Chain A
């Protein structure tokens, strides 16, 4: 089975590299974007299976990019990964499939990716079963 490809949208270089290293170690392919416009460019060009999205970024924020992702790729799994839990109060954040508050250890992020991808696979199987005559 081909490796799932994760797009990490995060403006902090160190954090982004750390998340990518952890994800690669867990067996995923990664793509990196430092801001919304880089993310949008990659979304238009590359095959992506899941997005990890920071909110507080210079320029267009994650909460502004999220509806754009939804519009361009409806059903694309998205995990919001932010230092600020209060963003949950903004209903636009509910467009994401998961909301994780950043912690020093990226372990919970990797677990969330695994969990969400397996839910996506189950959904896909259910859809295929429904479509079968």
Chain B
């Protein structure tokens, strides 16, 4: 079950018209492609995507790029499930409530295990390794986790484990996170990926649904209560259990984390290998001509997608261009992310800017150069990234 129903408020205005998992990433992809590609590489062929807000672009992407891979004759499916309001006449009130509202789907499918995934993470994982770990520990719940510097850990669910990887403490976003026993500079955090024995999951979400004081969230409510009740909850530490090429994991929760993850892709040694033939990331791409750099155009350290045209004299550096982007003559684009079909007219200058889909930047416009001016017309993040939203008029 892929949780794709969040409002994506922290990624606004990129989520103005679409659910977070449908937001483009890395030029040609949508964020959900990374999780779905993991499922494909792991042989997971029965997938529910629980959607809610602004789901049409996500539905469309899944239909165009993914649905044809699943053979219903073999019992395979990729189904999007908005709130059916069969159990409660409400929208999904949290991650655990989204699963609770769909327990009838689990009754029908009768899986032995349910993997709960987030639709807004960028990482590579063969979930079969996690399942092997789960079985070897005789676990009822296994949580994928990684380590982060202790000073960053307050943003996450922090775990305390014993020598056998069993979770003995779990705190969501603690002000004073507990460090690893053998390394006081690091903390073990949840990646929001949960593998449950089905019966444990159903009991847990029902128990949570009956609580009136719960936010119905796995990290905040369900997992801490399971740990407290003595359920066999184990931590699958990817830094211990997987090879280094699988250690990359980013939660694309905020505009700054979205931006930083992109800049990592155009760094000299990207940590996330997009060009791994053994682990291709699938997506939907319309038929587009190849990218073209015209005479005198300069592109350094960039991701340039199909259908892009960079006109003569334009300079593009440390940037990501999604399909169909057009950069006009003499324009300068640095440290920026231009999403699908953005048109940057002649002589523009963009520095540290994210431009949403289909926006045209008029001739000679400067964005990201004078942040005071930009704050009056656009969203500017804490780290000084300017977001030009979809539908903006100049």
User: Which residues on A sit within 8 Å (CB–CB) of B202?
Assistant: 91, 94
* Residue interface bits A19-59, CB-to-B below 8 A is 1, else 0: 00000000000000000000000000000000000000000
- A67 CA / B88 CA spacing, docked (Å): 6
A89–B209 Cα gap in the complex (Å)? 19
Bound state CA distance, A68 and B209, in angstroms?
Answer: 13
Q: How distant is A126 from chain B, measured CB to nearest CB, in Å?
A: 14
Q: Which residues of A contact B86 (CB under 8 A)?
A: 67
Q: Is B373 an interface residue (CB 8 A)?
A: no
List which B75-120 residues lie within 8 A (CB) of chain A: 86-90, 103-104, 106-107
Any chain B CB within 8 A of the CB of A98? Answer: no
- Contact segment of A6-14, A69-77, A105-113: A69-77
A75: B residues at CB distance < 8 A: 210, 212
Query: Which residue from chain B places its CB closest to the CB of A89 in the assembled complex?
Result: B107
Q: Are B87 and A67 in contact (CB under 8 A)?
A: yes
Q: Which chain A residues lie closer than 8 Å to B180 at the CB level?
A: none
- Whole-angstrom distance between the alpha carbons of A95 and B100 in the complex? 10
Candidates A70, A71, A74, A90; contact of B104 at CB < 8 Å: A90
| Residues 85-120 of chain A, each 1 if its beta carbon lies under 8 Å from chain B, else 0 | 000011110110000000000000000000000000
Query: How many Å from the CB of A68 to the closest CB on chain B?
Result: 9
Interface residues of B, count at CB 8 A: 16
Partner of B203, one of A89, A92, A94: A94
Contacts of A91 in B (CB 8 A): 103-104, 106-107, 202, 206
Q: Shortest Cβ distance from A76 into chain B, in angstroms?
A: 9
Interface string of B54-94 (1 = CB under 8 A from A): 00000000000000000000000000000000111110000
Pair A92/B210 contact, Cβ less than 8 Å: no
Produce 1/0 per residue, B198-221, CB < 8 A to A. 000011001001111000000000
Q: How far is the CA of A114 from the CA of B111 in the complex (A)?
A: 35
Chain B's closest residue to A90 (CB) is: B107
Docked Cα-Cα span, A104 to B113, in Å, equals: 38
A67-B88, A70-B88 known; A92+B103 contact, CB < 8 A: yes
Q: Which residues of B contact A92 (CB under 8 A)?
A: 87, 103-104, 107
Given the interface pairs A91-B202, A92-B87, A94-B203, the reply to whether A70 lies near B210 with Cβ below 8 Å is: yes
**A91 CA to B102 CA, complexed, in Å:** 10
Q: How far is the CB of B204 from chain A (nearest CB, A)?
A: 11
List chain B residues, Cβ under 8 A from A94: 103, 202-203, 206
Residues of B within 8 A of A70 (CB): 87-88, 209-210
Q: When A91-B104, A91-B107 are in contact, do A74 and B87 touch as well, CB less than 8 Å?
A: no
6 A-B pairs with the lowest CB-CB distances in the bound complex, closest first: A67-B87, A91-B103, A91-B107, A91-B202, A71-B88, A90-B107
Can you spell out 29 A-B residue pairs with CB atoms less than 8 angstroms apart? Answer: A67-B87, A70-B87, A70-B209, A70-B210, A71-B87, A71-B88, A71-B89, A71-B90, A74-B209, A74-B210, A74-B212, A75-B210, A75-B212, A89-B107, A90-B104, A90-B107, A91-B106, A91-B107, A91-B202, A92-B87, A92-B103, A92-B104, A92-B107, A94-B103, A94-B202, A94-B203, A94-B206, A95-B206, A95-B209
> Given A74-B210, A90-B104, list of 17 further CB < 8 A pairs?
A67-B88, A70-B88, A70-B209, A70-B210, A71-B87, A71-B89, A74-B211, A75-B210, A89-B107, A90-B107, A91-B103, A91-B106, A91-B107, A92-B87, A92-B104, A94-B103, A94-B202
